[in-house]
Amino acid sequence: MADFTIAPPAPEDEADWRRHWAQYLTRYTVNVTPLTTDIIWARMLDPTSAMRGLIARDADGRGIGFCHLILHDNTWSLHPFCYLEDMFIAPEYRRRGIGRAMLDRIVELAHANQWARVYWTTWENNAGARTLYDQVTGGADSLVHYTIKVSA
């Protein structure tokens, strides 16, 4: 039996989520304003928002990881696509199947809600995550990711 659960965020998850969000941003050397962090949290709790979230919790209910999902329309399907924008598992909880369980839960949600696609990007040097992603997907596709940074 798993010693963790994965579910949508609840107000009591905020402190753990903020701590892990700060670790995640440090890992990717990204700075976001406190207002941005506040709004991200509010969006994940808002059932009308296109942003969704999942929180991994240990057996005592403490947050040990998260993911952020963005649902959006697209030109290839009448059903929404789901962009997995961020996923983080606290370092001391890695290699316990939580990342795989998080991805499995996202796929379950995709089937249940008729999302046409779940997709994401990761850094080329993120070897640990890429090993998991390759196992789950069968390998990266041939798309190349480009970015134009317009504003913060």
Which of 110, 7, 120 has its CA nearest to residue 54? Answer: 7
> Can you say whether residue 139 is alpha, beta or left, with left for phi > 0 and alpha for psi between -120 and 50 degrees?
left
C-alpha 145/C-alpha 149 separation (Å) is 13
C-alpha 116/C-alpha 94 separation (Å) is 29
Relative to beta strand 51-58, strand 4-7 is antiparallel
Distance of CA 90 to the CA centre of its chain: 13
**E-only strand ranges, the chain:** 4-7, 51-58, 63-72, 81-89, 117-119
Q: Where are the domains of the chain?
A: 4-137
Instruction: Say what the pTM is.
Output: 0.90
Cα 89–93–94 angle (5° rounding)?
A: 70
Span 128-150, pLDDT tens digits:
888 778 888 888 887 777 777 78
Span 74-124, pLDDT tens digits:
999 999 999 999 999 999 999 999 999 999 999 999 999 999 999 998 888
1, pLDDT greater than 70: no
Query: On the CB side of 124, how many CA atoms lie within 13 Å of its CA?
Result: 2
Architecture of domain 4-137: 3-Layer(aba) Sandwich (3.40)
Q: Which two tokens stand for residue 24?
A: 């995640």
